[in-house]
Structures are given as structure tokens and as C-alpha cells.
Amino acid sequence: MKILITAGPTREYLDPVRFMSNRSTGKMGFAIAEAAVARGHEVTLISGPVILGTPPEVSRIDIETARDMLAAVQKELPEHDALVMCAAVSDFRPKITTCHKLKKSTMPPVIELIANPDILHCIQPEKGNRIFVGFAAETDNIFIEAERKLKEKGLDLIVANDITQVDAGFEVDTNRVTLIHPEQEPEKLPLMSKAALGEKLIEFIESKNKANCTPSDAGSV
Ligand code: CTP
């Protein structure tokens, strides 16, 4: 399969020096990319600014802002069979970005924000038979929130992540998640490495892809 994966944070600039971002390091998305390559898939990885090296055989596209990420996903999606939106996309950006550094003497005390596009929402019409996997990083009402996002974003699976735990979520090598599928009981997974979770998600994509194949496809090469 050809699998498109997004990873890392986005940056939303106020001026050439300052930006809004989040704690994502890209570890989870890069682990999924490695797992996919290890199982023989072709991988395109769209990454926000992270300090990780590109895994072997992965085709990497670096972006900075949510709007850059949207444009890259829209360009790449037609060539891919599955999308894993692991990136922590900034929901807002400063309304005004200046091309000169703001000085503290003139810096406004309040920064006005405007909404960024929701990437999954924007590409929903292009889903077709493609498999879409999302992540939900939550602190409260984890399952309610994750199920809402699963439905609203038209996903085949959402990985619900309680980011209040110290050994799961941002900046660590392990994760403790619950997989939420439409019309199925949530599947609570134990603490595991991000590498092992990456493998599990790729196995899900493979089995979903097999199930999506119509009988008339079954005999084709
Ligand atoms: N996502 C996206 N575009 C955005 C924000 C998020 O495509 N502008 C994707 C993320 O990559 C993730 C899923 O949507 O796969 C859920 O992201 P999350 O940040 O948990 O949820 P939000 O949609 O931002 O909703 P809320 O602010 O209510 O938590």
C-alpha cells in the first residue's frame, strides 16, 4: 500500500522570531512510518519541525504551518491508499503575521487569533475507499471527545490518548491508548512502545484494506 502519514507540530508565526506551537515531537508519527516501511509499504511522511532523522526508505516532506500541511496532504492524498493524521495541528494562528520583528515597545498586549482549517474535514470528500486514521489527544472526557471526532471527521479509527499520564502522549517513547472504531467496543491497549503501537496501527490498516477489497478485486494483481 501507499501510506501517507503526518507527524509533529505545526508552527504559526507572529513575526519572524515568534510562533505558536505545541509539545509534539513527532515520535509517534515517525514510529508509524518505520513500522509501515518494515512491512513493505511505500510511505510519505509530512512532518512539522522536529529533530528526528528521516527513517530509511521514507519519502519526507517538511512543512511549518497548518496551511502548509493542508496543501501537502491535498497534493499527496490522491496517490495514497491510507492516511494517518498523527500531527498535532495548531487550531489557531495569529490574525496578523508581520515580516519585521515586533519590538517590545510596540508589541500589542493581546494577540488576535483566527481559526486554521481542519485538515481532515477539508479532505473528507476525497476519502472514497481510502482508510483514514486519526488521533485524539485529550485531558478530559477522553472517550466522548474521541468518539465525536471519529464521527465528525469521518474516520475508520481514532487513537484516543490521555495526555495527562506521564508515560503516554507527548515527548516520551511509550503510549497507552484506546482504539475507537465505528460501531465497535473501544479496544483499550496496555502501555506499549510507540514502535509497537505503530505496528498495531499498520496491521489495522492492512486488515481494513483487505476487507475493503470487493470480490471483483480479489483476483486482480
Ligand atoms: N486535525 C486536523 N486539522 C486540524 C486539527 C486537527 O486534521 N486543524 C486532526 C489531527 O491530526 C487528529 C484529529 O484531527 O488526527 C484530532 O485532532 P485534535 O487536535 O485532537 O482535535 P481537534 O479537531 O483540534 O478538536 P478539539 O480542539 O475540540 O480537541
Distance 154 CA to ligand 1 centre (A): 12
Angle between helices 27-38 and 194-212 in degrees, nearest 10: 60
Distance 209 CA to ligand 1 centre (A): 24
pLDDT at 170 (0 to 100): 78
Q: What's the chain's length in residues?
A: 221
CB 73 less than 6 A from any atom of ligand 1: no
Tell me which of 48-52, 149-153, 211-215 is least confident. 211-215
CB 116 less than 6 A from any atom of ligand 1: yes
pLDDT digits (tens, 9 = 90+) for 104-150: 998 889 999 999 999 999 999 999 999 999 999 888 999 999 999 99
Contacts of 179 (CB under 8 A, 6+ apart): 157, 158, 159, 160, 186, 187, 189, 200, 204
Give the phi and the psi of residue 186 in degrees, each rounded to 5: -60, 145
pLDDT digits (tens, 9 = 90+) for 159-174: 999 888 877 767 788 8
Strand partners, 203: none
Distance 36 CA to ligand 1 centre (A): 23
What average pLDDT is seen over the chain? Answer: 93
Write the residue with the smallest CA distance to atom 15 of ligand 1: 134
pLDDT digits (tens, 9 = 90+) for 178-207: 999 998 899 999 999 999 999 999 999 999
Write the residue with the smallest CA distance to atom 28 of ligand 1: 145
Using alpha carbons, select from 34, 74, 68 the residue that is nearest to residue 53: 34
What pTM was estimated for this model as a whole? 0.94
Contacts of 54 (CB under 8 A, 6+ apart): 45, 60
Cα–Cα dist 27/24, whole Å: 8
Write the residue with the smallest CA distance to atom 8 of ligand 1: 118
CB 119 less than 6 A from any atom of ligand 1: yes
Q: Domains (ranges, CATH) in the chain?
A: 2-211 (3.40.50.10300)
User: Which is the closest atom of ligand 1 to the Cα of 122?
Assistant: 7
Cα–Cα dist 37/40, whole Å: 5
Which secondary structure element, helix H or strand E, spans residue 157, and what is its range?
A: strand 157-162
> What is the 8-class DSSP label of residue 9?
B
CB 169 less than 6 A from any atom of ligand 1: no
Task: With beta carbons less than 8 A apart as the criterion, state whether 133 and 157 touch.
Answer: yes
Write the residue with the smallest CA distance to atom 21 of ligand 1: 136
Task: With beta carbons less than 8 A apart as the criterion, state whether 7 and 46 touch.
Answer: yes
Catalytic residues, by residue number, are: 22
Task: With beta carbons less than 8 A apart as the criterion, state whether 48 and 70 touch.
Answer: no
Contacts of 147 (CB under 8 A, 6+ apart): 158, 180
Q: What is the bridge-based pairing of β-strands 157-162 and 177-180? A: antiparallel
User: Which is the closest atom of ligand 1 to the Cα of 135?
Assistant: 15
Distance 136 CA to ligand 1 centre (A): 7
Band the pLDDT of 221: cuts 50, 70, 90: very low
Give the phi and the psi of residue 75 in degrees, each rounded to 5: -70, -45
